[in-house]
Structure 1
Amino acid sequence: MRKKVFFFALIMLAVLSSGAQNKQLATKILADHRLDTIQARALRLLTGFTAGTSYGEVWIRDFNTFINGSLAVHGKEKVKEMLLLFFSMQGKDGNIVDGMISKQKAQAGYDYIYSDLAPEWAAHKNTVETDQESSLVQAVYKYIKHTNDTSILHIVIDHQTVLQRLDAALQYVHKARWSAKYNLVTGATTIDWGDVQPEKGWGVVINDHTKWSIDIYDNAMYAIALKEYAELSKNRSYLTQYNQLKTNVRKYLWQSGAGKYLPHLYLNGSPFSPDFKEDEIIYTGGSACAILAGFHSPKEIAGINEQMLVAATKEKYATIGITVYPPYPEKEFPNMKPYVYQNAGDWTWFGGRMVQALIEHGFAKEAYDELSPMLDRALSHHGFYEWYDVQTGEPKGSGDFRGEAGVLYDAITILKNWAKQQK
């Protein structure tokens, strides 16, 4: 009896200590003016919908990550109108385009797609990706969660409701981008969540050199979409599909011994040299999405996070947003040199998602600590940039990058909400 009382007392002390620590952390978070400054700057930028100063297009993979901020500054009708445009450009087979631009500005060299349902717009699809459909499902879900406006699901576009069109988008992936052998989503070989394949040439389009593979990012994004569509449609069969996908991800991609994901599971051969040790590379963005998809235990999340932190220590200016580590050598990935863009550039666009994942799974202190250098970086450069050079610290790519603004806005919102709940 005494032993039981003793252990109960220890448990109570631990709970009280944890509660006191959480309150101290919450006080620190709510007093951190950097959070308010970054959110205010983000909202000023999120009055627009294009990805950034280097892009004239509205991209669904970007819009999905800043739609919450957009809804904070726009009336819901304007945001809804932009979402509905993607359905107007949807393919007959259910596929969703990547980006849209005013027809008068469609001069980037893409094979443009046009629709009588949206005559003023031109669209295109980066065919090496498999995340457009998942991104649109997620964006509609966020819209409804923010506004409670379920009427969007019943809007009819060319004889199909939005709900039916979302289903068609998910079915497109299951039919056109699916491995029957592994029962997982497929795509062209890219770096983690990237949209460029290794072979030289127009790297965003599938060609005769494309090597088909399975990776964690595409599957995690699809899993999130399945869960969210199940809730929107009240159709539990999509939860069954989610559980099957999770099982197969764990079986074929997750390396439990190494505590990391296999970069690629190849379907028609690898594009890389036989002696290249690709399996040693850490995929940070896809791993963050896998956590958000609900694929991991707290112990596994802690291990994934620790690997990201260790990778970040290898380069002077890196955060957990470093895309992959180590980078692919130039001879293996001639379309993208090491430390450039998605090949070990540092992207808050995905580092911020890892922060969100940490908060949602009980790692608030880690989330705040790892968010801090991203806040300082955005403040020191007086803006939001597409990516950062981990060797020099320089901002790179598009300025006024709404993807970074959006994920920081969301991460800060979630962090503040956690802090308020501790009071």
Structure 2
Amino acid sequence: MTETVLISPSRYVQGKGVMGQLGHHLARIGSKPLLVADDVVWGIVGDGVTEALGQADLPVARESFGTFATAAAVDHLVEVIGSGGHDVIVGIGGGSAIDAAKSAGHLAKIRWASVPTAASSDAPTSALAVIYTEEGEFVEYRFFPHNPDLVLIDTQVVASAPARFLVAGIGDALATWLEARATQRGQGSTMAGGRPTHTGTALARLSWELLWGNALEALDAVRAGVVTPALEAVVEANTLLSGLGFESGGLAAAHAIHNGLTAAPQTHGLTHGQKVNLGSTTQLVLEGAPSEELEDFIVFTTRVGLPNTLTEVGLSPDDTAELRAVAEAATVPDETIHTMPFPVTADLVVDALVAVEGISRRVRSEHGLPEPELYVARH
């Protein structure tokens, strides 16, 4: 019998102003929380978080965080948990702070919660973390026996964040259905540990449908700093549905190519979702997707503001050494690219990456869309 698996967070809370209820929800799972947030995030939400915890008679202890979830950052948080006697750790902010909190909570054997301040990725709901080097290169996935005990996302906070964060989340979430359907067609396992359930695959598709129907209007809302039904739909798609869909539906080529791109210094500074979107475009080329589907994807993601060319991630078809390094990293034996329903080699990935440049430029020109601008990483 083939095993299918669906996993999810214990409680998901979304809505305008729900940050004020954080203490109430945390009190269900612990009495001495450790809050993990960088200085910028804390400057934005610190007062509100402090007030919310005070209303629930919970102490406020905040540990600052850097840029990436590194092994050293996780080990430091474990030490802080032990010395402070904390029984729940709360990652506040972006995906790396949340991943570091999850990793430390697991190692310290306490509960953990995710409080994203932007809908920029699907990391908050998952039972895994991505560990990077100090320079931002992918190192490994770390898997945990359960998902977060709480995920809480305030859509007014999301509406007040820069629109580029929502764009990044859309790029991450658009990959969910493309990868889930590829996994369903193949024989590989999901991050949940078995074959995809029909539920996981359906949730991945729902995420895709909500994004195509609401993404542009949601970006308008964020640029105006307001919460609308379109924004609520996209936040749910980016955070909850994409999270459930990727874990229980499956990852494939798009995220493997993202991981490979982190090895190219030219791409450093781009968001996770930006690199994933190039991976999604490349996956469509790899699998020989119908021309109409590929063209629609290029047009839509260009309008959203996501990269679909090598140029927009700092590379070119002439960067043969870098493209080979990306492809080799994307096709190491344990990568998710091997859940594709056909064998994928580094040579195939290189060819697809090169082809993407010309295809996207042609489609954008035919639809009167802007030419891609060269991304230059800050070093």
TM-score, L = length of structure 2: 0.29
TM-score, L = length of structure 1: 0.26
> Quick check: which has more Rg, 1 or 2?
1
Quick one: higher RCO (CA 8 Å, sep 6+), 1 or 2? Answer: 1
